[in-house]
Chain A
Amino acid sequence: MGKRVGIENSIAAADAVKMADVDVVAAYPITPQTHIVEHLAELVADGELDAEFIPVESEHSAMSVCCGSVAAGARTFTCTSAQGLALMNEIVFIAASLRLPIVMILANRSLSGPLSIWNDHTDVMSVRDCGWIQVFADNGQELFDHVLFAYRVAEDQKVSLPVMVNIDGFIVTHVIEAVEYWDEDQVKKYLPPFKPVNVLNPDKPITIGAFGMPGIFTEAKKNQDQALIDSKPHIMKAWDEMAKIVGRKYEPVETYKIEGAETAFLTMGSFSETASIAVDKLREAGKSVGQIKLRLWRPFPFDEIREAMKGVKKLIVIDRAISYGGPGGPVASEIRAALYQEKNMPAIANFLCGFAGRDVTADDFVRMCEKTEELAKNKKPIREEDYIFYGVRE
Chain B
Amino acid sequence: MPKSEFDLGWKDIEPGCSVSEPGNASQYRTGDWRSIRPVWDHTKCIKCGICYIYCPDAAIFKNPEGYFEADLYYCKGCGICAQECITGCIKMVEEAE
Contacts and interface: CB of A to CB of B under 8 A. Distances in A.
A213 interface: yes
Interface residues of A, number: 23
A99 B13 contact: no
A99 B13 CA distance: 12
Interface stretch (A204-212, A236-244, A301-309): A204-212
Interface string A207-244: 11010110110111011001100000000000000000
Interface string B3-28: 01110111111111111101000000
A219 B8 CA distance: 8
Contacts of A207: 18-19, 22
Size class of B's contact patch? Answer: 10 to 19
A36 B33 CA distance: 50
A219 B13 contact: yes
B15 A198 contact: yes
B92 to A, nearest CB: 26
Contacts of A223: 10-11, 13, 17
A97 B17 contact: yes
Nearest to B9: A219
A146 to B, nearest CB: 24
A208 B9 CA distance: 19
**Chain A CB within 10 Å, residue with most, of B8, B13, B16, B20:** B16
A97 B22 contact: no
A98 interface: yes
Residue from B4, B5, B22 having most chain A Cβ neighbours under 10 A: B5
12 contacts: A98-B16, A160-B16, A198-B14, A198-B16, A208-B16, A208-B18, A210-B18, A215-B4, A215-B6, A216-B5, A219-B8, A220-B13
